Amino acid sequence: MRTVKNSARNAVVLAGMGAMLWAAPGAGAADRDDVEDSDFTKKVVIAFDGTTAAVTNEAGVAVSYGGSTSAVVINSTVEGVEYVLSGTATGYVEITSTYASKVTLDGVALTSGDGPALSMLSAARSYVVLNAGTSNVLADAATGTRKGSGALNGSGPLIISGRGALSIQGNKSHGISSATYVRGLGGEVTITGAVKDGVHANAYFQMDQGSLAITASGDGIDADEGYVVINGGSITVRSAVDDTKGIKCDGTLAVNGGSLNLTVDGVQSKALSSKGDMTLSGGSLLFNLAGGVFLETVTGTTSTYVDPSYSTAIKCDGNLAISGGSIAITHTGTAGKGISADGNIVISGGTVDIATSGGSSTSFTNSSGALDMAAADCLKADGTLTITGGDVTATSSGAGGDAISCDGAAVIGTLGIAGTPVISANTTGAHVLLSGAGMNADYLNAKAFSAGGNVTMNGGVFTATTRQDGGEGMESKANLTINGGTVEIAAYDDCINATTKVTINGGNIYCYSSGNDGIDSNGTMLITGGTIVSSGTNSPEESFDCDQNNFTITGGTMVGTGGATSTPTASTSTQRSVVYRGAGTVNVVLVVKSASGNVVVYELPRTYAGGGGGGTSSAAMTMLFSNAGLVAGTTYTILSGATVSGGTEFHGLYTGATVTGGTTLKTFTPTSMVTTVQ
């Protein structure tokens, strides 16, 4: 039975390891992991030379030897002993003590012929201090009878500090191993290689100061069933082995500061991985991955299917919270993932920059019996996604890859707070054919932002681009609501799409679709406020597409152009709108004005070709506009080719501008809530 209470500098660990209990860092008034907070007044000096060791025993500990005099075995019941090691030898040091021990490495190089090079067998703390200006080496034996699973091995806590350097080679198992915890408080530690993990701790791993560089055949750092806390220092991990992790634990993982540089190239490998919750609140985190997806064939009770296992930069089986720091992810592997959480993801601060470029996998039958593919995605939550702060940039250039997605609901920004978060979601990969052909073709489409539940945008800045077939900008499989903020989307497919309802209550929204609708609701649409500029492509595509013909306008300023448009519902709308059908040529300014001033000044974003437009006219363009300036009993004129100067522009829609010239196209007087002019 294990209980863990975790914070950056205040943690208590109680573990069922026989009758042993120990207090973790910061449990008392002083941090007992700081070697300076303990008194080591007695000294044992061990000077190695080839196959011998000269021992100066001022502490009265019991000293014996293994197979040679360079194999030093110490049994101590004395408190406050410091062991100082120097010289070079084929040998080892093993210290068994009932008290805490301090081992100072003062220019020592030990290559063991049997088991660990330095082994501390004690339930109490073992302090390893690297003397300033010294270089030290520890290498264990690939075979042997002595117990221990690391070149630097401890049965209790291992705390590394100092201002010197230490190189470790794990020839049998791990580089550094502790049956409880490992903590870094200083020094420059390099694990040049390990048959298994670079650092293995059964309870937890904590890094506060110093540097740790790891190359290992297993995981870089494995906290086993415990947790990981990184408050400072520098950690570099290089792994090219399949199905390994850069840093992993079965409990919680927290990065509060420091520098991480993790390079992981193995198939289905992870850079940062936790089975519990993960919090990232500070530091600089750099990830480079190249490993591909592994497609595992699973034979169930009723069917055989494929279960993909992905290579992922940040993988959290619980909930993930990002509140600070700088995160940069580059993933080039097939179907590689940037950030993935089985639970919810909350981003409230920091900078997150993710680029995935790997292609999609071959097609397979998934656990639901459907044909599927694995694709490279930047950020994915199996639960909900909330982004209220920070800068998030996600770019997927792999075929069929999504930028940002979640299976549950998504919330962006906070009402009344402008300018944050800043989100950029981009896909440049083409869609991928799953099955069929022609009208019956089924594709895996790349989407910039997609949610299986409701999408609510309250504030901030959201931009999205998709540049190949099939990509949508912002999609909800339920309701999509925009209450504020700035939305700017350039997509091939629909810029904004919702399965049930689109509601716009505020904000500044720009949509430009190069192959479909600007804003599309498969259900109903309600617009009560905001400024909206929407551009769909040629007929039959639309600027505003409302499939259930319940399109209500009660406020806001909106202008949309396309080959067609859904007509607002007059019986439910309280603000007038106009559907104008006519010619549309790029960069031409259309003006709608009355005797009292301009109502609409809009520079057309593209040239519309073809006829139909959803009406009886052969005009190529259909323009829908609505704002509070349209009133009954007033005559309005539509002019083309005007010249505009001054004012404020939002993607071609001008306010407060000076307008001159133009050719009169039509005049009209609104007699109903929706007026058609053609």
Beta-carbon contacts of 342 under 8 Å, excluding residues fewer than 6 positions away, are 316, 317, 318, 382, 383
pLDDT of residue 142: 96
State the amino acid at position 390 in one-letter form. G
Residue-wise pLDDT tens digits, 408-430: 999 999 999 989 999 999 999 88
Tell me, what DSSP letter sits at residue 439?
A: G
At residue 35, the 3 state secondary structure works out as helix
Expressed in angstroms, the distance from the first to the final Cα of the chain is: 77
Contact 269, 243 (CB under 8 A): yes
Q: Buried b vs exposed e over 364-382: b needs ≥16 C-beta within 10 Å?
A: beeeeeeebbbbbbbbbbb
C-alpha dihedral sign at 470, 471, 473, 475: positive
pLDDT of residue 610: 64
Give the whole-angstrom CA distance, residue 92 versus residue 70: 7
pLDDT of residue 210: 98
- β 3-5/12-14 pair status: antiparallel
Both tokens of residue 578? 């106009």
Q: Where are the domains of the chain?
A: 532-678
Give the whole-angstrom CA distance, residue 52 versus residue 28: 42
Contact 233, 248 (CB under 8 A): no
Show the CA angle centred on residue 453, arms to residues 452 and 457, nearest 5°. Answer: 115
Q: With a cut of 50, list the residues of the chain below it in pLDDT.
A: 1-29, 611-618
pLDDT of residue 11: 35
Both tokens of residue 265? 């190239």
Give the whole-angstrom CA distance, residue 669 versus residue 551: 22
Beta-carbon contacts of 299 under 8 Å, excluding residues fewer than 6 positions away, are none
Over its C-alpha atoms, the chain yields an Rg (Å, rounded) of 33
Contact 344, 319 (CB under 8 A): yes
Give the whole-angstrom CA distance, residue 568 versus residue 159: 70
Residue-wise pLDDT tens digits, 487-516: 999 999 999 999 999 999 999 999 999 999
Whole-model pTM? 0.93
Give the whole-angstrom CA distance, residue 569 versus residue 578: 12
Give CA torsion, residues 365, 367, 370, 372, to 10 deg.
-60
